[in-house]
Structure 1
Amino acid sequence: MTRIEPELIRRWLDGWTVARAVPEAEPVGSAGDGLRSKCDQPGREIEVFALRADEDPESLARLAASVAAAQQITWLTVPTLRPSAVEAVVSAAGLELLHRSEWFMTTDLTEHPQHAPAAPYEREVRTEGAVTVVSLHGPSGEIAARGTIAVIGPDAIADRIETDPAHRRRGLGRAMMSALAAAAVARGARTGLLIASEEGQRLYSSLGWHHEADVLIARRPAVPANR
């Protein structure tokens, strides 16, 4: 494979916006260059997702230029099999590459390993609409780990998988992903999609998730407050 399919990115984004309860992404740029989502987060008001970075570097250059000129704080997220080429394009546009390496990953949820949380941890599963939230509670009732998955047709998009630092290295990440996968399959999903942080990549790989592309994130350099 020489590029990641734009449709796969769209499918992930459809679920990601639902999981985060943000507006549906809208087309940005010409000829299907990318999609734009309003995040309204401090330091991340808008996020633009490149769809054709590998097949058409000029489309990425157009998106990078628009992000560089944006009035709102805008991130540019680029799934790619050519990270060095992407880095060169966004740097030429004057954007700052965030220092983290993320992965676009997929899996067959029907074959996902199952791991129950060890005592004394207890699992809570809540579903509202298309979104399921799983919480793992510690012995005092505190939330030790938490994660979200949004089911959109046959796809399930996992997001915000977090384990409290005080509860790490106890298998909670595996138990969390197992619970999310089981909940999604029960609702008819088959394919799991996520973007993994550098910290989560080893966990997801050990559970059978496959690396489809690197993900680079860039933004306009922050202006010092004293200027």
Structure 2
Amino acid sequence: MPFTTTAEAVHAWVQGWAVSRGAAEPAVRPWGFTVDVGLPREVARHVLPDADEATVRRLAEATEAPAVWLKTFVPPETLRAWLPSGWALAGGPGFLMSSRPAAAGTPAPALPDGYGLVRWTPGGVTRAVVRAPDGAFAARAQVAVTGRTAVVDQVETDPAHRRRGLGRVLMHTLTETAARAGATAAVLGATPEGRALYEGAGWRVLAPLTAAARVVEDSGA
């Protein structure tokens, strides 16, 4: 088992996600972590490994600025019931998933004819891109290794190139790279669509992953 507890996996995910996205070092709070992200649509996020209604309401009611998110590991219907007025679920349903990296030296599945893969590692984050036979973008993903943990992130396949095994190639390539760097466990946040890909590659769901953000009201003309 890659992680002893879900809380351990959450901690690893928060640390690796911050490295992957170039965000600030997560600040430890009594209820979890705060990460300064610094983007217009997400200025910061509060991550609550063991969310409860009182803590969620307290944080939400104390937050007046838009683009501050809450990340929890409870089902959407549970978080929705806890949110005060002015807040709503955001980002769609998700899942925290874990696996062991592919063994170092294990060859990746073959790409379809004509496709090519390139990877590079700036600042400790390995990025991989698959290009189509005509050179166009087909798929991408990246991985950040923090200690013994790898966090896979930003997995995306162009709709025109789906169902060709590109995601499986990327996942193997990046986790094998992480294993070479010393990672013994891997974690990621998945969408419902991505979950099927990852489960097919041996990943398992640890917990639901549900977010909320303050509703930005339309001020009109």
TM-score scaled by length of structure 2:
0.88
Per-residue deviation, 1:137: 1.3
Match of residue 180 from structure 2: 186
User: What pairs with 1:1-227 in structure 2 (closer than 5 Å)?
Assistant: 5-28=6-29, 32-53=30-51, 56-66=52-62, 69-80=63-74, 83-90=76-83, 92=84, 94-98=86-90, 100-110=92-102, 114-226=108-220
Task: Report the 3-state secondary structure (helix = DSSP H, G, I; strand = E; otherwise coil) of the residue aligned with 2:24.
Answer: coil
State the distance in 2 between where 1:51 and 1:156 align: 19
Check the 8 A contact 1:33/1:60 in 2, yes or no: no
State the distance in 2 between where 1:166 and 1:85 align: 36
Q: Deviations over 1:8-65 (max 9, x none)?
A: 212111100100111112134xxx1121112222322221111221xx4422332232
State the distance in 2 between where 1:116 and 1:37 align: 38
Task: Report the 3-state secondary structure (helix = DSSP H, G, I; strand = E; otherwise coil) of the residue aligned with 1:116.
Answer: coil
State the distance in 1 between where 2:150 and 2:157 align: 20
TM-aligned CA distance change 1:99 to 1:192, over 3 Å: closer
Q: AA paired with 1:196?
A: A
Q: AA paired with 2:132?
A: G
TM-score scaled by length of structure 1:
0.86
State the distance in 2 between where 1:225 and 1:57 align: 30
State the distance in 1 between where 2:76 and 2:180 align: 36
Check the 8 A contact 2:139/2:166 in 1, yes or no: yes
Q: Aligned pair count?
A: 215
> Where in structure 2 are there 5+ consecutive unaligned residues?
none
TM-aligned CA distance change 1:7 to 1:62, over 3 Å: farther
Q: CA RMSD in A?
A: 2.1
Task: Report the 3-state secondary structure (helix = DSSP H, G, I; strand = E; otherwise coil) of the residue aligned with 2:178.
Answer: helix
State the distance in 1 between where 2:159 and 2:76 align: 31
